[in-house]
Structure formats: C-alpha cells, structure tokens
C-alpha cells in the first residue's frame, strides 16, 4: 500500500537516483533552457515587429514626424483638427495663366493659344477684358500716363509687354500695372519679318487669358486719347476689327510685292496699312494660326519690303475682309514725308493739339457716323511726358 501510494513520485525519484538516466536529465535541462531562450527572443522580436508596424502605419497615414515615437513605443499623436476642405480649383488655372514668364517655345505657345472652345457659352461669369499689347524696344517710357489711364479699372484690362531689351524689366516698380507683364521676348529689327513674329507672340500670350476679348497693339510712343471707359466701350461694342488696309500704286505700295508670292498672294490682293491694329478674339486666333500666308511673307517679304505694313492688311482683307473696318485706331502723322512719322516733343503738347487729335473729323463706326476716329496716338517722346501728365488727365477725364 505504502509503495503504491505515490507511484509517480517513486518513478521520478527512481529516475533521479538512477545513474543510468543522468544523461536524460541533462538533455531535458538543455531543452528547457533552449526553449526559454527561444521564447524570450521570439517575444522580444514580435514586440519589435508590432512596434514597427504601428510606426509605419502611423507614418504613412498621418505623415507624422519620425521623431514622435520614443524608445518605449510611446507615440505621441498630434492633436489635429480635420484638414480644411481644399479650395475649389475648377477652371481657375486654365482660364488665366499664373505667370507671364513661361518656357514654352513659340511653336508650343501658338498651338496652345490656338485652342478654341467649341462650346461658346462660358460656364462662369466672364467679364470681357481688353489686352493692351506693348511692342517696345526698351521700357514703356510713357508708362506714367498709362498708369493714370488704367487707374480704377482693374479686372477690365490686361497688359503685355514684348521688349527685346531684358534690362527694361528691372526699372518697373512693384506697384506698377506694368510690373511682371513682360512676356518671353526675342530680338526685333524694325521692318524685318521678326517684328510680325513678335506681334504673333503678343497675341498668343494674350489669347491664353480666356477673358481677353479685344486686342490692341501699341508702341512705347503711343498715348491714349480718351479715358478708359470710352476706350473700353468703343472696343467692346464694335462690330469690326481695326486693321488698316488699302491698295496703293507705286514703289511703297504694290512696288513691294514679289511675283514669287503668287498664287498664294496675287498683286491685286496686295494691301498696305499701319501695323498698329486692334482686333477681336476670333481674328486674333486666325492670325496666330496662319502658316500659309505667313511663310510666304517670311520667304519673300523681308527687309526693304516692310512685312509689318503688308502682312496683316493683305491676310485680313483676303480672308476676313467683311469683318474689317479697314482703318486704324492709332493716329500718326506722315504729312512731313520721309520714312518716319512726325515725333511730338514737349512743346507740341498743348490742350488744343490733343483736342484736335480727339475730334478732328468723323469716322464710320458700326455703320454710322461717329465723332471718334482714333483712340490712341503716336509718336510721343519721353520729353513730352511732363506736359502730358499735366494736361491729359483733366482733358480726357481720367478716373483719378
Ligand atoms: C515617414 O515620415 C517621414 C517624415 O514625414 C518621411 O520623410 C518618410 O519618407 C516617411 N516614411 C514612410 C515610409 O512613409
Ligand atoms: C508619452 O509621451 C508623452 C509626450 O511625449 C508624454 O507626455 C508621456 O508622459 C509619455 N508616456 C509614457 C508612458 O512614456
Ligand atoms: C521681370 O520681372 C518680374 C518681376 O520681378 C520677374 O518675375 C520676371 O522673371 C522678370 N523677367 C525677366 C526677363 O527678367
Ligand atoms: C470719360 O470721358 C467721357 C468723354 O469722352 C466722359 O463723358 C465720361 O464721363 C468719362 N468717364 C469717366 C468715368 O470719367
Ligand atoms: C473693308 O474692306 C473689305 C474688303 O474690301 C470690305 O469687304 C469691307 O466691307 C470693308 N469694311 C467697311 C467697314 O467698309
């Protein structure tokens, strides 16, 4: 009975006491230690994995700073309010380019600007603007007068300056309407075909802004003859474009035509006119998209041909004649003869003189007689600026 009382203990005791089973005991102990170590290592490892997992998840979801987890796995969760609803972008970046300076090539620019929406109704309240495009050698020397002209009419105009002289840019103060309005420009030689390229570059840059509806080309020697509201109303309500165009016999007219231009341009289709144009959006797109006529002028009307006086008048009259008024809005005086028009200096600028330019005769406007023939005038030198600033704002009723 005594022996049977605890058989398991007896057998265990037997086991301990039996020298035969000593090796068995050792292996058991080793096995136990090994298991213990394995367990410890595994636990530690798993803990690490879990920590890493948590850390990675946190990092990728909340984008938190990697330093926010400490050695204890204590990760401080930053208390953030839910992110504000992102501001709606909609068409914003598409309708108005953010920066004047871009790195598109002329070819890329013209292609992009020639894109016309097939849906002609705008899906947003569109306020039509006038694009004032200044083709200059250096700075816009009469800019102070233009500043007064534009004052109070933000949102109704956009300014573009093509200036071959890049140093012109540095002199523009930050609060000027001309600040940062220079477009990527290239060399321009007066009379050369690259002048037309500059005009196309101005048109194309201005077309990128879908609100621009009328496009006027000006030089640094141009001044406005009326206040902004008169100019804006006149242009917006016009049913016609203003590209001067006439047929002229003699050396400075048909004499500049080259028979090599036939059959794309015949001599009867050859026209002359001032380069200072004003046109609507539809015609502007047609002008920049033209390759056929432009390449003919490029090849056969460079240098003494003065392509800028013939390309647009010929192109517009041949293809879009019925949309054209055939006159220019920019007054210039060729009465003295010679290759250059009259320049106006300080002493030329009087109230009577400016008044004469404003209402010297009457012109046809939308099929009716109108007191206004010209909205702009040239050529004024920088010496005339003082007097202009003194006389013009009052005479022209600027909004000051
Ligand atoms: C973790 O966040 C840091 C800092 O925000 C970031 O630099 C790193 O790329 C992120 N790593 C992963 C895997 O998201
Ligand atoms: C965890 O981190 C927070 C902020 O760093 C600290 O206030 C808190 O005492 C920490 N908790 C532990 C248990 O370390
Ligand atoms: C002209 O000035 C504007 C404003 O400082 C600047 O953004 C632009 O890059 C300049 N352009 C050139 C050609 O220097
Ligand atoms: C602009 O000038 C015209 C005359 O040309 C005048 O009737 C009109 O009141 C002026 N507009 C403003 C806003 O001063
Ligand atoms: C301008 O000239 C074109 C072509 O000769 C003609 O069709 C158009 O009617 C003219 N415009 C005006 C306003 O007379």
- Please tell me the distance from the alpha carbon of residue 188 to that of residue 305, in angstroms, as a whole number: 16
Which structural domain, as residue segments, surrounds residue 132? Answer: 95-117+124-328
| Whether pLDDT at 11 is above 60 | no
How far away, in angstroms, is 45 Cα from ligand 2 center?
23
Among 106-115, 160-169, 282-291, which stretch is predicted with the lowest mean pLDDT? Answer: 160-169
pLDDT confidence band for 339 (50 / 70 / 90): confident
| Whether pLDDT at 78 is above 70 | no
* 114 or 8, greater pLDDT: 114
pLDDT confidence band for 75 (50 / 70 / 90): low
Which strand ranges, in their side-by-side order, compose the sheet holding 157-163? 157-163, 129-136, 212-219, 278-280
- Please tell me the distance from the alpha carbon of residue 193 to that of residue 170, in angstroms, as a whole number: 28
Q: Residues 6 or more apart from 144 whose CB is under 8 A from it? A: 385, 389
pLDDT confidence band for 98 (50 / 70 / 90): confident
Q: Report yes or no on 243 lying in a domain.
A: yes
Note the pLDDT of residue 101: 87
Asked whether the beta carbons of 132 and 213 are under 8 A apart, the reply is no
Judge if the beta carbon of residue 67 lies within 6 A of ligand 1.
no
Judge if the beta carbon of residue 182 lies within 6 A of ligand 3.
yes
* Top-confidence range, 34-38, 80-84, 277-281: 277-281
**Signed CA dihedral, 219, 235, 146, 336: sign only:** positive
Average of per-residue pLDDT across 37-44: 74
Q: Report yes or no on 257 lying in a domain.
A: yes
List pLDDT tens digits, range 237-281: 999 999 999 999 999 999 999 999 999 999 999 999 999 999 999
* Cα 181–chain centre separation: 9
How far away, in angstroms, is 121 Cα from ligand 3 center?
35
What average pLDDT does the structure give for the chain? 87
pLDDT confidence band for 86 (50 / 70 / 90): confident
Q: Report yes or no on 293 lying in a domain.
A: yes
Q: Which one of 54, 62, 66, 67 would you pick to mutate in the ligand 1 pocket, going by the greatest count of ligand atoms within 8 A of its CB?
A: 66
Judge if the beta carbon of residue 317 lies within 6 A of ligand 5.
yes
Q: Report yes or no on 361 lying in a domain.
A: no
Judge if the beta carbon of residue 74 lies within 6 A of ligand 2.
yes
pLDDT confidence band for 177 (50 / 70 / 90): very high
- Return the ligand 5 atom nearest residue 322 CA: 7
- Please tell me the distance from the alpha carbon of residue 231 to that of residue 330, in angstroms, as a whole number: 12
- Please tell me the distance from the alpha carbon of residue 147 to that of residue 177, in angstroms, as a whole number: 7
Average of per-residue pLDDT across 32-60: 63
Q: Which ligand is nearest to the CA of 153?
A: 4
Q: Report yes or no on 377 lying in a domain.
A: no
pLDDT confidence band for 66 (50 / 70 / 90): very low
Note the pLDDT of residue 82: 75
CATH of the domain at 194: 3.90.550
Q: Report yes or no on 15 lying in a domain.
A: no
Per the structure, how many domains does the chain have?
A: 1
């Amino acid at each position: 009975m005594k022996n049977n009382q605890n058989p398991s203990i007896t057998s265990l005791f037997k086991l301990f006491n039996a020298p035969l089973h000593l090796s068995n005991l050792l292996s058991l102990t080793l096995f136990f230690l090994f298991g213990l170590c394995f367990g410890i290592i595994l636990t530690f490892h798993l803990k690490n994995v879990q920590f890493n997992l948590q850390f990675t998840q946190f990092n990728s979801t909340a984008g938190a700073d990697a330093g926010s987890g400490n050695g204890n796995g204590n990760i401080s969760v930053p208390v953030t309010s839910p992110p504000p609803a992102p501001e709606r972008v909609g068409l914003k970046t598409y309708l108005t380019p953010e920066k004047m300076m871009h790195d598109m090539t002329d070819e890329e620019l013209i292609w992009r600007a020639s894109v016309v929406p097939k849906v002609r109704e705008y899906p947003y309240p569109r306020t039509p603007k006038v694009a004032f495009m200044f083709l200059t050698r250096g700075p816009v020397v009469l800019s102070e007068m233009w500043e007064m002209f534009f004052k109070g009419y933000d949102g109704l105009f956009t300014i573009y300056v093509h200036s071959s002289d890049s140093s012109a840019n540095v002199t523009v103060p930050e609060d000027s309407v001309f600040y940062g309005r220079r477009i990527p420009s290239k060399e321009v030689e007066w009379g050369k075909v690259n002048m037309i390229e500059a005009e196309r570059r101005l048109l194309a840059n201005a077309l990128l802004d879908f609100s621009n509806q009328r496009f006027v080309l000006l030089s640094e020697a141009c001044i406005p003859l009326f206040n902004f509201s008169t100019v804006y109303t006149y242009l917006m309500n016009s049913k016609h474009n203003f590209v001067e165009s006439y047929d002229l016999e003699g050396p400075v007219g048909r004499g500049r035509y080259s028979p090599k231009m036939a059959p794309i341009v015949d001599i009867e289709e050859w026209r002359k006119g001032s380069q200072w144009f004003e046109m609507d959006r539809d015609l502007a797109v047609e002008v920049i998209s033209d390759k056929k006529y432009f390449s003919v002028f490029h090849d056969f009307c460079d240098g003494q041909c003065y392509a800028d006086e013939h390309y647009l008048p010929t192109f517009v009259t041949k293809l879009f004649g019925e949309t054209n008024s055939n006159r220019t809005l920019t007054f210039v005086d060729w009465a003295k003869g010679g290759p250059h028009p009259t320049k106006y200096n300080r002493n030329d600028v009087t109230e009577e003189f400016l008044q004469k330019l404003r209402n010297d005769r009457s012109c046809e406007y939308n099929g009716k007689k109108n007191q206004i023939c010209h909205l702009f005038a040239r050529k004024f030198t920088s010496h005339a600026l003082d007097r202009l600033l003194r006389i013009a704002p009052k005479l022209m009723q600027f909004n000051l």
